[in-house]
Structure 1
Amino acid sequence: MKKTLSLLFALTGWFAIITQYFLMIRNSEFSFWETTIRFFSYFTILTNIIVTVYFTVQTFKKSSNEKSGILTAITVYISIVGLIYQFLLRSTWNPSGMQKLVDELLHSVIPLLVLIYWYWYENKNNLKYGSILKWAIYPVLYLGYILIRGSFSGFYPYPFVDVASFGLTNVLINSLWITAFFFILSLVFIKIGKLTGKS
């Protein structure tokens, strides 16, 4: 059952990511390379790639042993994608057709699938609060990347990190709020994991 779900989730992820890429290339007014760089500048895309690679590996790996915490970290990342989209970004546009389908897969369906998978299969007994600092490396590096590239390209993938519109101070404050949200969500997942993982 675990491998079947992993395969299903991996296929869903690859479909959503590849389709989103083609839609972005088709509709972009920028060059192929600039569009590609922008595509890979979205936390949503990068995190969905991490999720999809994870499920692809789970589909083909022979051993079921896995270091506790990897799936939880991935679940925190994709949960942030879903929650920020639902509460901050959904109202900023109104996609239709295939774009709407892909949008829902990346921001709603896949986060929910990962959450279900985490609840069923994560080794929750061995989750450690100390792991949160390691989990934070990815989002912190991502933030640094988009701020540095945005400073000379003028492109910021999300409105709340748009230095040109809000100024660096406000963007850093927004980033601190999101960082705090990340740590709180990580604590919640570990706490729930420890409670539900008890035999």
Structure 2
Amino acid sequence: MPYRYRPLAMFSALLGWFGLALQLWFSVRLALDEGHSAFHGVWIYLGYYTILTNLLIAAVLTAAALDTPTAVSRFLLRPGVQTAAAMSIVIVSAVYNLMLRQLWTPTGWVLVADVIVHDLMPPLYVLYWWLAVPKASLRWPQVIAWQSYPAGYFTYVLLRGAVNGWYPYPFLDVKALGYLQVVLDALGVLVAFIVVALLLVALGRWQARRQGDAVPEAA
């Protein structure tokens, strides 16, 4: 990554980790207040797609800012991985703002954490992606491979819910909606993932051509 973009990556990474730390603190504190263990708070924390995706983009941004030659960093900094992360964080923001924001009214530091993970990190990461990620290697078939992350998360939610009856989002609540409706809801969100991914690949390949990079037409 060009050095001039590392300050953006570092600032975004620090902000992302701060927001995640706040969210973890509140999750653990809520669990303790309700008579559960701290581990229960961590377990609930790791049930949200928002949290998992913010962890992913914070890790990507950290790898970009530090530029250390490790296997993990090389994986995270692959253009395909960084673009898949962009796809996911865009959906996080869209689903939250269109379907979930009206369900609660956070205040104080809870609001700060909420704004960071849902409102600040998505545009910051997309800005980083646009400026710093090389995109000539992006291929249309990658769009399908990228769906393994949301599909894996959906399976994870169903398995967790089958064990303890807890579902992180209303549109995935099997107890309230039944499996058929939840699967239909998930398919609708999957279509949104695919549309966003196609748009990102199209934009990325267009940008690469504008910059004079070789982009195979039949990729």
Q: Give the TM-score of the pair, scaled to structure 2.
A: 0.87
| Distance (Å, rounded) in 2 between the aligned partners of 1:68 and 1:143 | 24
Matched, 1:167 2:178: yes
Following superposition, the deviation at residue 138 of structure 1 comes to: 1.2
User: Which aligned segments of 4 or more residues in structure 1 are displaced greater than 2 angstroms?
Assistant: 62-68
| Distance (Å, rounded) in 2 between the aligned partners of 1:166 and 1:62 | 46
| Overall identity of the aligned pairs, in % | 30
Matched, 1:57 2:63: yes
Following superposition, the deviation at residue 68 of structure 1 comes to: 2.6
Matched, 1:27 2:30: yes
Mark the runs of 5 or more structure 1 residues left unpaired by the alignment: none
Following superposition, the deviation at residue 8 of structure 1 comes to: 0.6
| Distance (Å, rounded) in 1 between the aligned partners of 2:159 and 2:124 | 33
Give 2:6's aligned amino acid.
K
Q: Match for residue 125 of structure 1? A: 136
Contact residue 57 and residue 85 of structure 2 kept, 8 A: yes
Following superposition, the deviation at residue 53 of structure 1 comes to: 0.8
| Distance (Å, rounded) in 1 between the aligned partners of 2:122 and 2:207 | 20
Give 2:130's aligned amino acid.
Y
| Distance (Å, rounded) in 1 between the aligned partners of 2:170 and 2:124 | 27
| Distance (Å, rounded) in 1 between the aligned partners of 2:125 and 2:79 | 15
Following superposition, the deviation at residue 62 of structure 1 comes to: 5.0
Q: How does 1:30-45 map to 2 (within 5 A)?
A: 30-45=36-51
- How many residues were matched structurally? 199
CA RMSD of aligned residues (A): 1.6
2:107 to 91, 96, 109: 96
Following superposition, the deviation at residue 33 of structure 1 comes to: 1.8
Contact residue 28 and residue 40 of structure 2 kept, 8 A: no
